[in-house]
A and B are shown apart, each in its own frame.
Chain A
Amino acid sequence: MTAHEVSRGYEIVVGLEVHCELATNTKLFCGCANQFGSEPNTNICPVCLGLPGSLPVLNERAVEFALRVGEAFNFDVPERSVFHRKNYFYPDMPKNFQTSQYDEPICSEGTLDVDGVTIRITRAHLEEDTGKSTHVGGDGGRIHGADHSLIDYNRAGVPLLEIVSEPDIRSAEQAARYVEELRATLLAIGVSDVKMEEGSMRVDANVSVRLVGATEFGKRCEVKNMNSIRSVRRAVAYEAERQIDLITSGERIMQETRHWNEDDGRTHSMRSKEEAFDYRYFPEPDLVPVEPTAEMRSLVRSQMPELPAAKRERLIDAWAITEHDARVIVDVPGLAEYAEAAVAVLGGGTPKDIVNWLTGDFLGFLNETGTKLDDSNLRPAGLAELVGMVVGGSISRNQGKDVMADALRSGEAPVAIVAARGIAQVSDAGALSGVLEVVFAANVDALDAYRSGDDKMKKKKRGFLMGEAMKATKGDGNPQLLNQLLDQMLEAL
């Protein structure tokens, strides 16, 4: 069972800390653009540079986004939350304190259902991101031994939401699924673009192990630097096994921070808790408490979209599709809406046909060409037309694939493509009988084997002959009709 993994008598205990950058237009405390990939130090001002005399002003949109998160994960959003200063020195942090939230976060006590298991979320709080250092020269981009360091403050002050789970996760797979579900939900409610590879979503895992049945937690290690959901799964699995190895060989676990290395597939010690900072948290005197108004709360509530889990359930019921297909449709932003638009104008066929075409060639094309869904040349109505033609038998499935590829490339309507290229499925019984006669003549051995063989052999040879016939029609033959004729001719042997 993936939700509760036991290894050598030990169970895995995981809590996840997820930082996600909020996709607001401007930074958390100033009007600078919140934009990834700008020229270094172009989205900066006295406030996000922490110049003497500058003061923060809270971005209301970030509060609105936090309220959306509150709705999505059943958080308690209190009347009032407070910003604190987290004090420590780091060159890419302009004020040498981070404005964050401490004992009065904006969201507390939420939940997320992961494959039927409820994972409790302790809190979600707002804070500002730091700048980014680049270390030049010396030992491979690290600060120690570097000739000099360059700092880009474009990211300084970008709004972050830190979402901290309870240690309720019991397997590496469940940890990965939690992140997947969290990411899909954050994406659906439009608060973040959650790109782990660009750092707009960062995951740290607190991993410990304990004997099955134990009530106390083991010493935990915090694993950092996981850049994909796959690496969350691998890193947690590795770290748990590492700890079990240590314990079973009589050693003790040190509470420490460990760095996941994607290349060697291991975690490496970064620093132990003995070096932990005293952050000297105290309430940020330059900001007033966050007190979302009733109007803001009801506005947010009224604008909440359908959440991924609910949408999957609805589509599975309504369209009779698999859990897997529902997940694919719902996880790609906008794809469910696309599918629903196509289903709405469907002439022939079922919603499941639409879904099959979408999850197959359609997504394949978008991924291969790097096309965004919104920019795709084939619109929902075109897809419905195409499915209608295939299901109705006027073109074959293979022809349909060609037409789709053509439509995606050219932007022409499928009906127009079919008409212009004269594509049609061969449904003429006389012509198809002729094809079968030629195939029979060329495969006398197969016919002999069919005649003398048992049921299994008959089935095998029948399949072979059908394939040869399809090949001879270049895939244009109407498969139902061809099957019917083949059966007649085999019976007549």
Chain B
Amino acid sequence: MTAREIAAAVRTGARSARSVLEEHFARIDVREAELHAFNYLMREQAFGAADAIDSAVARGEDPGCLAGVPVAVKDNFCTRGVPTTCSSKILEGWTPPYDSTAVARLHAAGAVLVGKTNLDEFAMGSSTENSAFGPTRNPHDPSRVPGGSSGGSAVAVAAGFSAIAYGSDTGGSIRQPAALCGVVGVKPTYGSVSRYGLVAFASSLDQIGPFAVDVGDAALALEAVWGYDPMDSTSLDATMDSLSDSLDRGVAGLRVGIVRELTEVDGIAPEVQARVAAAAEALSAAGAKVDYVSVPSVSYGLSAYYLIAPAEASSNLARYDGVRYGRRDAGADVATMNSATRDAGFGAEVKRRIMLGTYALSAGYYDSYYGKAQKVRTLIIQDFARAYEQFDVLLTPTAPTVAFEFGSKTADPLAMYLSDVCTIPTNLAGHCAISVPYGTAEPTSGATLTSDGNPKQLPIGVQVLAPALGEATMFRVAKAIEASAP
């Protein structure tokens, strides 16, 4: 059942929110122990919320567009009275006294929160292996990663634990795990969904977005949370074109550009390149004009990102010092206590990025690192603007490969960072992008065999990029791709 079907059934009283929730928890009870999608399950609160929705329907009230829809949120969304850990030991014992705007809007739309999902610590990673509470496993092959950092949310949807889920995407943290888990993932335009209550990783790049089983649900899920919020100064006060209304308008006449620098280059697996080419052909067959386009500066995206994101993170994460909340490790004086707390509380990847970022902002290095990275960012924005003079949307792979095996990249941070090479430019530009499942492939090495002796097939995602506030067109193209998916 899609989220659209659930909401429709619950709103009309055809299904009770409780029975929908029971189905989802039944699946959770079977597979959660193996997959570890959640840091915290909100079973009791969820059934309470479901019952409240059923009573509202019984009274003739409309609980909202997500009535009774089971939803999972990444454990870096503040939830009033529910622990929020960011998968870090440093936030041990902390319970936020307030709801993030996204969570408040979900409650207002009648959604039922089932739990807080696992992530790479503070959203830093591409495999969910950096969680302090253990990794999440890919439901298509539990020996492989689900991607990250929003791996738990991707798995929650892929495994049917929740109808939709939300994550945050700083450099690909929604789209890459969506691709690896075979679900739809959206990174909306920067500023379209309020960041208030999203624990910051890199403020100028972070953006909340949904996971869903199909494009239609993704549209519904995004529309439930987006829109201006006075609590977020970077929130866009703009009219958003309805997504659900225009989904089925087709792609006839739309111009689609395949980004050469992110598609037919070394490092993108041939089976992934083949899927992008197939999606392009399908769009062409549906009436779109498809051509190649060059966006030269995106090649520097990864380098710029690994200066800007750690720089902002080094400042954002300074507040975890043991003084006010979370963990505290004893020290003889304040500075020693601060160091002891941060040493014990943060994992290796978080420490690596804090050091990178601190260095990039240091006196004497600012201009050559942070300053230069910001210039690259400007170049990328300009290059995209030129591309969008000729094209309505752009097409690329979402991730360079299918889901990889646990531990295969943990020893080599650079190899891990390359997982996001196709997704990062969108964050740097502040634009929107969506990953749509488009067939499967067997991995080039180490394939797990199914019971009948064939290598397990793993999902592949293709990515549609659009300029800021170009979501309506982007969703139309995504819908057309989905319709032609193998």
Interface residues of A (CB under 8 A from B): 46, 49-58, 85, 87, 89, 91, 94-97, 143-144, 149, 151, 278, 280-282, 285-288
B78 near A52: Cβ-Cβ < 8 Å? yes
Q: A282: which B residues are within 8 A, CB to CB?
A: 311-312, 315, 361, 366, 370
Smallest CB–CB gap between B369 and chain A, Å? Answer: 11
The residues of A that contact B98 with a CB separation of less than 8 Å are: 46, 51
Q: Are B233 and A287 in touch, CB under 8 angstroms?
A: yes
- List the 4 closest pairs (A to B, CB-CB), nearest first: A96-B318, A285-B203, A280-B361, A285-B204
B411, CB-defined interface residue at 8 Å: no
Residues of A within 8 A of B231 (CB): 55, 57
B308 to chain A, nearest CB (A): 9
Chain B residues near A280 (CB-CB < 8 A): 314-315, 358, 361-363, 366
- In the complex, what residues of A have CB within 8 A of residue B321's CB? 89, 91, 96
* Nearest Cβ on chain B to A57's Cβ, whole angstroms: 5
A-B contact pairs, 15 of them (CB 8 A): A49-B324, A52-B91, A52-B96, A53-B78, A53-B197, A55-B196, A95-B318, A282-B361, A285-B203, A286-B200, A286-B203, A286-B233, A286-B234, A287-B233, A287-B234
- CA A94 – CA B196 in complex, angstroms? 17
**Closest beta carbon of chain B to A27's beta carbon, Å:** 14
Q: What distance in Å separates the Cβ of B128 from its nearest Cβ neighbour in chain A? A: 20
Say yes or no: A57 contacts B198, CB within 8 Å: no
A358 CB to closest chain B CB, in angstroms?
Answer: 48
Shortest distance from the beta carbon of B102 to any chain A beta carbon, whole Å: 10
**A55 close to B97 (CB less than 8 A):** no
> How near does chain A come to B93, taking the closest CB pair, in angstroms?
13
Closest CB of chain B to A87's CB: distance in Å?
Answer: 5
Q: CB-defined interface of B72-88 with A at 8 Å, one 1/0 digit per residue?
A: 00001110000010100
Q: Which B residues, 317 to 331, have Cβ-Cβ distances below 8 Å to chain A?
A: 318-319, 321, 323-325
A57: chain B residues at CB < 8 Å are: 230-233
Determine whether B268 belongs to the interface, using a CB cutoff of 8 Å to chain A: no
B residues within 8 A CB of A143? 333-334
Task: Render B186-203 as a binary contact track against A, CB cut-off 8 A, 1 for contact.
Answer: 000000000111111011
B contacts with A, residue count (CB < 8 A):
45
- A153 to B, closest residue via Cβ: B324
Residue of B nearest to A50 (CB): B319
Interface of A is mostly: loop
B238 CB–A CB distance under 8 Å: no
| Contact status B84-A52, CB under 8 Å | yes
Q: Knowing A282-B311, A282-B315, A287-B233 are in contact, say whether A53-B323 is a contact too (CB < 8 A).
A: no
Contact of B335 with A by CB under 8 A? yes
* Residue among A151, A281, A285 facing the most chain B CB atoms (10 A cut-off): A285
Q: B396 at interface (Cβ–Cβ under 8 A)?
A: no
Q: Which residue of A lies closest to B325 (CB)?
A: A51
The answer to whether B200 and A53 have CB atoms under 8 Å apart is yes
Residues of B within 8 Å of A58, CB to CB, are: 233
B100: Cβ under 8 A from any A Cβ: yes
**CB 8 Å contact bits of B363-395 with A (1 = contact, 0 = none):** 100100010000000000000000000000000
Whether B338 sits at the interface, judged by CB under 8 Å, is yes
* Chain B residues in 8 Å Cβ range of A151: 323
Q: Which of A49, A54, A87, A97 has the most chain B CB within a 10 Å cutoff? A: A54
Give min CB distance, B366 to chain A, whole Å: 7
Docked pose: A49 CA to B96 CA in angstroms: 12
Find chain A residues with CB under 8 A from B78 CB: 51-53
Instruction: Report the bound CA distance from A281 to B318 in whole Å.
Output: 14
Question: Do A54 and B334 touch across chains, with their CB atoms under 8 A apart?
Answer: no
Question: Who on chain A is nearest to B78 by CB?
Answer: A53
- 5 more A-B contacts (CB under 8 A) besides A57-B231, A87-B314? A46-B96, A53-B84, A96-B319, A143-B333, A287-B233
Given contacts A49-B324, A286-B233, contact A87 B97 (CB under 8 A): no
**Bound CA–CA A143/B336 (angstroms):** 14
- Taken together as a complex, chains A and B put the C-alpha atoms of A53 and B98 apart, in Å, by 10
Report chain A residues within 8 Å CB of B197: 53-54
For B363, the chain A residues whose CB sits under 8 A away are 278, 280
Task: Tell me, in angstroms, the Cα distance from A89 to B341 when the chains sit together.
Answer: 14
Contact (A288, B233) CB under 8 Å given A52-B78, A89-B335: yes
**A52, B370: Cβ atoms closer than 8 Å:** no
CB contacts (< 8 Å) of B335 on chain A: these are: 89
Q: How far is the CA of A152 from the CA of B94 in the complex (A)?
A: 20
Q: A53 vs B361: C-alpha distance in the bound complex, in angstroms? A: 22
CA distance A144 to B199 in the complex (A): 33
Residue among A49, A50, A143, A286 with most chain B CB within 10 A = A286
